[in-house]
Structure 1
Amino acid sequence: MNKTKNYDLTIIIPMYNEYENMERLEKKLTGYINKARMKTCVLLVNDGSTDGSLGRIKDICERNTDFFYISYDSNRGLSTALNAGIDNTESRYLGYMDADMQTDAEDFDLLLQHIGSNQIVTGIRARRKDTGFKRMQSKIANSFRRRMTGDTATDTGCPLKVMWTEYARRIQFFDGMHRFLPALFSLEGANFKEVPVRHYPRTAGKSKYHLWNRLRKPFADCIAFRWMKNRYIRYEINEKEL
């Protein structure tokens, strides 16, 4: 039996070469789990790390009964890691957090206050601690995405989200989908809410994003999303005899 079924919330954390952050991450997550507003576990997704992260992931899971992991050999990207985590989660709710320690696990409780009436609740990075150039890149990308998708999310790149697992499993996944979760949920008739959360500067490890993949790829993904949105299959059965 999938052990996440025994929990109310599974926090999915994609991991790619975050060895330097993992000690702090473990400490923060164990502290949060001990006082979380619902029974919570952590699912670490090793996205083909090459820096020894997998060994440390196994050590963390061995000494913490509420930590689990899945792993695959080659780096597939954030969307694939998130998809794999969702496919292997059976708790009622799931959360998503990056391993870079730029957000605070304790802020999940801020999002969970609204999860009863919203199928997806995401953070807004208040007082964002990135460089001005990085903030400018995100502002341009978010503005373009909103025009292309029609969603109202103001900070879709915030790596702190909670969702109904039932709805997350309905989403049609594609590479880059992590940028469009509110828009994808809206195609399923979901309610969406944003909540301000804390944000910190990265102090260890290396960012996986730069100008090329922060701007060019999201623009291409927006075009792909519009194509998919216009062809999205929706139906609801109101009578049947089987």
Structure 2
Amino acid sequence: MYEFTIIVPVYNEEENLDRVEKELLAYTKIATKPTCILFVNDGSKDNSQQMIETICSRNKAFGFINFKENRGLSAAIKAGFDNVTTEYVGYIDSDLQTAPEDFNLLLEHSGTYNLVTGVRADRKDSFVKNMSSTIANGIRRAFTHDGMDDTGCPLKVIKTEYAKRIPMFKGLHRFLPAMILLQNGTVLQIPVRHFPRVAGTAKFGVWNRLIGPLMDCFAYLWMKKKYINYEIENKG
């Protein structure tokens, strides 16, 4: 019935979930591919899970996964990848600083590219947040040579067969384009809109955006050296 699943990682976002429901439900009506929504509740301590269950009970295109305890963004995305059955999978942050409607811009190229990622144009974040992200992206590009300007953009579309082969570990959500390239896949970046956070609080500080990604680059280099990639010609 569906061709595209949007993963929505959630951690203590009760102030945003009513808006998430409204905007994602509206998007499903204009999406260029039949679309469903998969919440992944990453062990929230607030009322997020109860709200998610209520949202899913009244919207047949919405479902959820609920973690027993907090495991981080990469784990939430990985759980989503593991559980989707549609041809394409994407994700968006529950703070909705990017617009669901812009998924259509990415889907235009999904038949040609194995991963299409947004690039946040005219970012509406603080100077410190923007600067730390710029530095982190520059460091990551130097290690991965993936050519991507904004891997932290929470708006991506991936062919599910490629997403399921990504060996995720904590922090690797920033390296999704590089991991697709390791599979000899193709990647493309498209400018998308960006908005200020209107509710809730950011879950990442300077450590998460700068020091952490630097350490993850060495993990990526190790994985690149050890990565196993193969194609099956036929079966019998």
Query: TM class by shorter-chain length?
Result: over 0.9
Among 212, 233, 236, the alignment partner of 2:231 is 236
Task: Tell me: CA distance 1:162–1:239, structure 2 relative to 1, closer, same or farther (3 Å).
Answer: closer
- Give the Cα–Cα distance (whole angstroms) in 2 for the partners of residues 203 and 34 of structure 1: 24
1:113 aligns with 2:108: yes
Q: Once superposed, what is the RMSD of the aligned Cα atoms?
A: 1.1
Task: Tell me: CA distance 1:62–1:137, structure 2 relative to 1, closer, same or farther (3 Å).
Answer: same
Offset at residue 175 of structure 1 (A): 1.1
Match of 1:194 in 2: 189
- Give the Cα–Cα distance (whole angstroms) in 2 for the partners of residues 37 and 212 of structure 1: 38
- Give the Cα–Cα distance (whole angstroms) in 1 for the partners of residues 197 and 232 of structure 2: 48
Runs of 4+ in 1 over 4 A off after TM superposition: 237-240
- Give the Cα–Cα distance (whole angstroms) in 2 for the partners of residues 209 and 62 of structure 1: 31
1:227 aligns with 2:222: yes
Match of 2:64 in 1: 69
Q: 1:37 corresponds to which letter in structure 2? A: T
SS of residue in 1 equivalent to 2:204: coil
Q: 2:45 corresponds to which letter in structure 1? A: T
Among 34, 44, 50, the alignment partner of 1:49 is 44
Among 159, 168, 186, the alignment partner of 1:173 is 168
- Give the Cα–Cα distance (whole angstroms) in 1 for the partners of residues 136 and 150 of structure 2: 10
Q: 2:53 corresponds to which letter in structure 1? A: K
SS of residue in 2 equivalent to 1:20: coil
1:145 aligns with 2:165: no
Offset at residue 238 of structure 1 (A): 4.6
1:20 aligns with 2:25: no
SS of residue in 2 equivalent to 1:17: coil
Among 61, 74, 77, the alignment partner of 1:79 is 74
- Give the Cα–Cα distance (whole angstroms) in 1 for the partners of residues 133 and 57 of structure 2: 38
Q: 2:106 corresponds to which letter in structure 1? A: L
Q: 2:11 corresponds to which letter in structure 1? A: Y
Offset at residue 150 of structure 1 (A): 1.5
Q: 1:44 corresponds to which letter in structure 2? A: F
Q: 2:98 corresponds to which letter in structure 1? A: T
Offset at residue 29 of structure 1 (A): 0.4
Match of 2:213 in 1: 218
Residue-pair matches, total: 236
SS of residue in 1 equivalent to 2:33: coil
1:122-175 deviation per Cα after TM superposition (whole angstroms, max 9, x unaligned): 000011100111110001000000001111111000000001001101111111
Offset at residue 237 of structure 1 (A): 4.5
SS of residue in 1 equivalent to 2:16: helix
SS of residue in 2 equivalent to 1:172: coil
1:206 aligns with 2:201: yes
Among 88, 91, 107, the alignment partner of 1:93 is 88
1:125 aligns with 2:125: no
SS of residue in 2 equivalent to 1:90: coil
1:10 aligns with 2:42: no
- Give the Cα–Cα distance (whole angstroms) in 2 for the partners of residues 54 and 202 of structure 1: 21
- Give the structure-2-normalised TM-score: 0.98
Name structure 1 gaps, 5 residues minimum.
1-5
Aligned-pair identity in percent equals 53
